[in-house]
Structures are given as C-alpha cells and as structure tokens.
Structure 1
Amino acid sequence: MKRIKPRWIAIAVITLALLGGVWRAINNKRAQQAAATTAAAEQMQIELLSSDVMRAELRDVTQSLPVSGTVRAVNFAVIKARVAGELKEVVAREGDAVKAGDVLARIDPTEYQRRWQQAVEQASAAKSQMEIAQRQWDSNKALVGQGFISQAAMDNSVASYQGAIATQKAAIAGAEVARKALDDATLRAPFAGLVSGRAAQVGERVAIDAKIMELVDLSQLEVEVPLSPNESMDVRVGQVAALQIEDRKEVVGAKVKRISPSAQTGSRSVLIYLALDKAEGLRHGLFAKGVLGLGKSQVLAVPLSAVRTDRAQPYVQVVERVGDQQQVAHKTVTLGMRGMDLTQPESEPMVGVTGVNEGSTVLKGHVGALRSGMVVKYTALATPLTAPLPAPATAASTAP
C-alpha cells in the first residue's frame, strides 16, 4: 500500500491538471464567440450624419459640356512704340489706373521736333514760291490780252503756278507727317484701365513696334474657351454656364456672348466667348473651368457619385424603414440624362435614374459601400446649422 499510494496521487494530480486545462479552453472559446458575436452586431450598425444622405427628387437637370479657358478683358491693349528712339520717361507703372488720353510714356522727341521744324520751313518756302508764281500768272493774264506776250508764255506761267501749288501741298503733307511722328513720341492710353505690365525701362532705345507696356480694362471680363468642332455645333448664343475661377469654391455665372465663325488654323478649335455675370475681384489671365448648359430636362435625379458600379448593373444605396428600424437597401437603377442642376450654387454632376421612387433617401457617394440590411442610426448634432434629417421612405414605397 505504501508503494501504490504515491502513484495514485500523481495520477490524480495529472487528471486534475488536464481537467483544468480543458475547462479554461472551453471558457476562452466561449469568450471568443461572445466577442465575435458582439463585433458582428456592431458591424451590422452604422451612424450617419444628415449630410450623408439626400432625397431623390425631380430636378431641372441641364445637359452639360465641360469647358475651360482663360479670363480675358474685353478691352486689352499692348502699347507699342510708334517711332524709334530713347525712352525718356515712363509716367504710368504696373497697377496704375489711367484715363483715356493720359500720358503713359515719352520717347526722346528731339529728332522729331527738328524734322517737323524742317518740314514747316519747307512748306513756308513752297508757299512763297506759289505766291510768286500766282503773281506772275496774274500779270501775264493782263499782258496776253493786250498782245504784249504770246499765248505760249501765258501757258508757261500757268504751268509754273500749278507746279508751285503742288509743291506747296507736298510740303504741307510732309509737315503733317513730321508732326504726327512728333506726336507719336508721346504714348497715350487708348482707353481707361489699369497698367498690367511694363516691358521697357527708362534709357533704353526702342525700335518701332517695340512693346512698352500692357493696358487692361477690368470692368468687362469674358472667358475665351476653345472647343472642338464637334462640341461647338451644339453651342448657341445665350446658353448659360457655371464656372470656377482658379479652383475657388465660389461658382460664377456666365453666358455665351459670341461664337467665332471659323476654326483656328492648326488646332482646328472653335473659340467661344462667355460673358461673366460678376467680374469683381477677377484678373485678366486667370484660368476658369466649369460646365456649359446645352439643354434642360426635368428628371428624377441623384448625384452621379451616389451611383455604384461595382456590380454587373449600377445601383444606389437607400435607407428604408423595416419595422422599427432603418436599414440600408440596394436598388438597381437605370441611368438616364447626365448634367448639372445649375440652380444650386455648388452643384455636382447629376444623373437621371429609374428604379427608385421620388422621395427615397439615397446615401451619397462619400459614404462608401455598405452591406444590405445594415441598421442605420443618425448622429444628433448640437449645432443649429445642421439641416433636419430626411425621413426615410418605407419599404413598400421604395420597392423598385
């Protein structure tokens, strides 16, 4: 008995250890199953903001054409030198406002003053020669009547007088040309506007047609948009557009004002010009992009980003009431006309759909893919700016 007792004690200890390990393993498995069940229950529920959903409703969708171009002033001028010479003075500089006729710059007028004075003196000398020829002709008219001179002498005096008149006229014309060259040495603003750039400095010798500065009138701005010949065929004067200037959030309205009657050589593009509704704060040369409305139709529309295409057929995710819960449901849709709702200040591309009823609550595209049947709860925000949550449609009313 003394030999057997320690053996049974060892067996009992080992058996108890095994039973304890089995019991702990069972408890761990139950805990894992409970955690998995809790995680699955949490995954079947999602909280959304009111800004994550929208109603599918009838909208005036305008078929749109993407456009981009450059903001340009209707009145824009490159001021160039009309005469050659040294640039003596630049009166207006970048950003200066000028009126029509104001002096912008001056080229050294010394040479042109001397030429004008020379031309004036030549005209004066020609006038004196013409007066001498006129007196000679008047005298010969009286003499030929009395027979003191021949008719040939009379004809010569007439020719001399006519030649003197022509010489005087040529001298006067030369003086006027010289005077114009002198006036051209002073560069003046052709219209009221702002100096946008300067290309020459005081002391430089500039040639004829050398660029001196640029002048723009920001009171009238338009966007020059190049279109392909195919795209331009549907464009008409008066069609409206929504543009963003330099990727700013603000949308600026515009309207087709002019359409070029011919395609550009080389690029084959057709230029259209959009008159901007609001030009305040804009600058000549900025980049603009947006959409041009070609035609309008009223359709049941949702944002194009809300339509999912990760299946064989496109579908949208809607929130519908099932019992006392609101759940996600997937509705297969047929896509129709695409365009923009230009009545909205920050509209996004819309698409007409069939397969959902008017008033259905549709999840926006940024929410991402959700599993059908997932329970939806709305997060309450304490800000008064939050829009009221849309009431989801019932399962009966959202059936396709």
Structure 2
Amino acid sequence: MRWRGIMLTVSGALALAACHAKQAEVTLPRPVIAVVVHRDSKPVLATLPGEVNARYATPLSFRIAGKLIERNVRLGDTVTAGQVIARLDPDDAQRSLASAQAQLMAAQHRLGFAEQQLDRDRAQAQEQLIAMAQLEQTQDAYVAAVAQRDQALQQFALLKNQTEYTVLTADHAGVITAEDADTGQNVAAGQAVYHLAWSGTVDILCDVPESLLTALTVGSAASVSLPAVTGRRFTAHVRELSPAADPGSRTYRAKLTLDAPGPEVRLGMTATVTFADAAGDAQADDPITLPATALFHEGNAPAVWVVRPGDHALELRRVQLGRYDDRTISISQGLNDGERVVLQGVHTVSAGETVRAVAPLHPEDFAS
C-alpha cells in the first residue's frame, strides 16, 4: 500500500509537469515571415511587356551556288567564331580551279618566251641586225603576255576563293536560331542556310505608348524582371527609340540593353520592363511595393497583416492597391513607411494573435 501511494504521487507529478510543459509550448509566440516595408524610391511611370533578343542577328549563307552536302550544327546549338557549320559539294569548284591553274601556267610560259625574245631583239637592234618595227612588235607581244599572265593569276585567285567558299563558317560566336536549308538541297548564292544570334550584348524589346515619349530618351534607366528568372531584377538602359510609330499598334519600338544579363538570360524569354520617373524622389504618398503573397482580404476589400510594434500582435489592415503585377502589388494607401508586414502564410493567421517576426530565409524570393 505504501509503494502504491508513492507511485500514484509520482505519476500525478509527472502528468502535472507534462500539462505545464504543454501549456507553456502553446503560449509561445508563433513565428511568421515578416519584413519592414519602405516606400518606393521613385514613382513608376509604366510597366510594359517585353522580350529578350540578341542585339545582332545575321543570316549565314554561301557566297556561291551549289549542292549542300553537310550540316554540322542544329537549331539551338552554340557555335564559336570560325567554326565550320556547313559544306557545299566542292567538285565543280575544284575542277574550275584546276583549269585556272593550267591557264596560269600556260600564261607564265608564254610570258617567259616573250621576255627571252625581247632580250634577243634588243641585242640585235643595237647591232642594227633587225628593223626597229620588229623590235616594237616584240615589245608589244611581251606587254600582251604580261597582261595575260596577270589576268590568269587573278582568275586563279578568284576560283581559289570560290573553292574556299564551299565551306561555311560562323563569323561570330553565338546561337543558331533558325535552319533554312536541308542537306541535299541546291542553294543559291546568298540564300540563308542558318540564322545566328550573336552572343554577348542582350537587348530587351518593348513597345512604348505615345504618352510616355516625353518622359523617355536614349539612356533612360529601367528595371527588368523575367518570369523565368525568379527573385532577381536587372537594370537596363534605353539604347534606341523608334522615331516613327508602328502603323498597326501606334506604339514606338524601344530597345533596351541589359547591363549584366548573365547566363540564365536566354533569347526569347518574356520580360516585364518598369520605367521609373528619373526626376522623382520618395514622397509621403509614394506607393509601397510588396510580393503578391502578402495580399489578404477583409470581406471584398484588399488587406494585409501588420505586426504591431508594441505587443507584436497581428492587425488586419485594409489597403488601397495601385497596381497588380505578376509577382508584386503596389499599395498606394493604408500602409506607413517602416511598418512590419507579413509576407507569407497570410491565410493561416488570425487577428490579435501574438507572433514573432522572422526574416525570409531567401530574401530574393520576396524581392519586389
């Protein structure tokens, strides 16, 4: 009986301790991902869709006509400068070169004979053994032989070049973006076989409405985001602005150069181009840009969760949205600079709940 009483006492103490531990665990503040927000440094003029393009893209073609017998690269392949990418049947070009070489040898032989005859006639003319008219004829034959040699030499050089033109090489490093001829096809001189986009400088193409023309000039800065490259924004500058509007869309084509594109930026990607007011500074009524994951609703009104600075409790704050983007929202009213806003898990918290604000593990995932 004594031991039974001791065991009951110990069991009760352990159960009470477990209850206290469980109660203490429940009352701990809940961690939430939240950051201090600030107003945008410059007002946004416009956000436009764009596309990644190479600055230079050229068709690759043979200089002579012929039958395409070999293709060494395919669509999407990366090539280097001087790399052989295609060949024509060289038989006709080689035969023409051999014929030109034979004509050059004959012309050189005739020139040698004419030079020897000229030397003999000059010696005999000094001894007055031949008439001056015969010497003049010999000199004329020598001049004609020199011209025939020069003509044969130029023809040989031309046909030698044409033999080399049966090999198509890439003149710049880049990526093959199109295939325009198949093996076995007879191609004409200048007919495109491939299209090559040069590597290096990358442009962003976008169409600007006429309402922005007064605010944009060559050299204007822009911020570029790519849906395929999440968590990163690129800086770009306007390189070229079309002087005339497109007849169909009535917009002006702008070409922007990315400052540091990186290998993750690929041709053909879609882009979002944001132009900011270069003359604007942050004002009290400037918007605050947040990730779209921070958006919640109170009834039909948009709202965000704000962590109160005093008791660290959550407050559902109605806000007014100025703009929706693919990954961000722009809040024009309802938030103050320096307040802490919940960025993730907005559907799992409740008003008045005490929380512990935690910075994002990967801040670039929530970059605006």
Query: Which interval holds the TM-score relative to the shorter structure?
Result: 0.5 to 0.7
CA contact (8 A) 1:235 1:294 kept: no
Whole-Å separation in 2 of the counterparts to 1:250 and 1:66: 18
Name 2:260's counterpart in structure 1: 277
**Structure 2 SS opposite 1:299:** coil
Larger radius of gyration: 1
Q: Decide whether aligned partners of structure 1 residues 220 and 58 sit closer, same or farther in structure 2, where only a CA change above 3 A counts.
A: closer
The one-character-per-residue Cα deviations of 1:68-119 (angstroms, maximum 9, x if unpaired) are 3321224533222322222111122334443321211111110111111111
Once the 2 structures are TM-superposed, how far is the Cα of residue 175 of structure 1 from its aligned partner? 1.2
Q: 2:190 aligns with which of 209, 231, 246?
A: 209
Name 2:161's counterpart in structure 1: 180
**AA of the residue aligned to 2:267:** H
Q: Decide whether aligned partners of structure 1 residues 288 and 360 sit closer, same or farther in structure 2, where only a CA change above 3 A counts.
A: closer
Whole-Å separation in 2 of the counterparts to 1:379 and 1:273: 47
Once the 2 structures are TM-superposed, how far is the Cα of residue 255 of structure 1 from its aligned partner? 1.8
Structure 1 residue 133 corresponds to structure 2 residue 114: yes
Q: Decide whether aligned partners of structure 1 residues 360 and 191 sit closer, same or farther in structure 2, where only a CA change above 3 A counts.
A: closer
**Structure 2 SS opposite 1:122:** helix
**Structure 2 SS opposite 1:298:** coil
Once the 2 structures are TM-superposed, how far is the Cα of residue 131 of structure 1 from its aligned partner? 1.9
Percent of residue pairs identical: 20
**AA of the residue aligned to 1:273:** L
Name 1:190's counterpart in structure 2: 171
Q: Decide whether aligned partners of structure 1 residues 166 and 68 sit closer, same or farther in structure 2, where only a CA change above 3 A counts.
A: farther
CA contact (8 A) 1:339 1:349 kept: yes
**AA of the residue aligned to 2:266:** R
Q: Decide whether aligned partners of structure 1 residues 125 and 234 sit closer, same or farther in structure 2, where only a CA change above 3 A counts.
A: farther
Q: Decide whether aligned partners of structure 1 residues 356 and 219 sit closer, same or farther in structure 2, where only a CA change above 3 A counts.
A: closer
Q: Decide whether aligned partners of structure 1 residues 247 and 206 sit closer, same or farther in structure 2, where only a CA change above 3 A counts.
A: same
CA contact (8 A) 2:32 2:358 kept: no
User: 1:292-371, aligned counterparts within 5 Å?
Assistant: 292-295=275-278, 296-300=280-284, 301-303=286-288, 348-349=329-330
Name 2:137's counterpart in structure 1: 156
Whole-Å separation in 2 of the counterparts to 1:150 and 1:280: 82
Once the 2 structures are TM-superposed, how far is the Cα of residue 130 of structure 1 from its aligned partner? 1.9
Higher alpha-carbon deviation: 147-156 or 102-111: 147-156
CA contact (8 A) 2:61 2:193 kept: yes
Structure 1 residue 103 corresponds to structure 2 residue 84: yes
Name structure 1 gaps, 5 residues minimum.
1-48, 306-315, 341-345, 368-375, 388-400
The one-character-per-residue Cα deviations of 1:245-295 (angstroms, maximum 9, x if unpaired) are 357644431321622575478678354232252332232222222212341
Higher alpha-carbon deviation: 164-173 or 202-211: 202-211
**Structure 2 SS opposite 1:173:** helix
How many residue pairs align between the two structures? 306
**AA of the residue aligned to 1:288:** A
**AA of the residue aligned to 1:147:** Q
Name 1:70's counterpart in structure 2: 51
Name 1:15's counterpart in structure 2: none
Structure 1 residue 377 corresponds to structure 2 residue 351: yes
Q: So what's the TM-score if we normalise by structure 1?
A: 0.61
Whole-Å separation in 1 of the counterparts to 2:276 and 2:99: 64
**AA of the residue aligned to 2:122:** K
Structure 1 residue 122 corresponds to structure 2 residue 90: no
CA contact (8 A) 2:201 2:257 kept: no
Once the 2 structures are TM-superposed, how far is the Cα of residue 215 of structure 1 from its aligned partner? 3.1
Q: Decide whether aligned partners of structure 1 residues 290 and 273 sit closer, same or farther in structure 2, where only a CA change above 3 A counts.
A: closer
The one-character-per-residue Cα deviations of 1:333-377 (angstroms, maximum 9, x if unpaired) are 9xxxx999xxxxx764465x7x9976689999xx9xxxxxxxx93
User: 1:259-274, aligned counterparts within 5 Å?
Assistant: 259=240, 262-263=243-244, 269-274=252-257
Name 2:41's counterpart in structure 1: 60
User: 1:184-263, aligned counterparts within 5 Å?
Assistant: 184-227=165-208, 231-246=212-227, 249-256=230-237, 258-259=239-240, 262-263=243-244
Q: 1:288 aligns with which of 268, 271, 275?
A: 271
Q: So what's the TM-score if we normalise by structure 2?
A: 0.65
Once the 2 structures are TM-superposed, how far is the Cα of residue 222 of structure 1 from its aligned partner? 2.1
**AA of the residue aligned to 1:165:** V
Whole-Å separation in 2 of the counterparts to 1:196 and 1:220: 16
Once the 2 structures are TM-superposed, how far is the Cα of residue 53 of structure 1 from its aligned partner? 11
CA contact (8 A) 2:35 2:340 kept: yes
CA contact (8 A) 1:240 1:253 kept: no
Name 2:27's counterpart in structure 1: none
**AA of the residue aligned to 2:283:** V
Q: Decide whether aligned partners of structure 1 residues 297 and 131 sit closer, same or farther in structure 2, where only a CA change above 3 A counts.
A: same
Once the 2 structures are TM-superposed, how far is the Cα of residue 299 of structure 1 from its aligned partner? 0.8
Q: Decide whether aligned partners of structure 1 residues 302 and 258 sit closer, same or farther in structure 2, where only a CA change above 3 A counts.
A: closer
Name 2:10's counterpart in structure 1: none
Whole-Å separation in 1 of the counterparts to 2:72 and 2:315: 73
CA contact (8 A) 2:52 2:203 kept: yes
Q: Decide whether aligned partners of structure 1 residues 252 and 121 sit closer, same or farther in structure 2, where only a CA change above 3 A counts.
A: farther
**Structure 2 SS opposite 1:93:** coil
Once the 2 structures are TM-superposed, how far is the Cα of residue 244 of structure 1 from its aligned partner? 2.8
Higher alpha-carbon deviation: 255-264 or 70-79: 255-264
Name 1:13's counterpart in structure 2: none
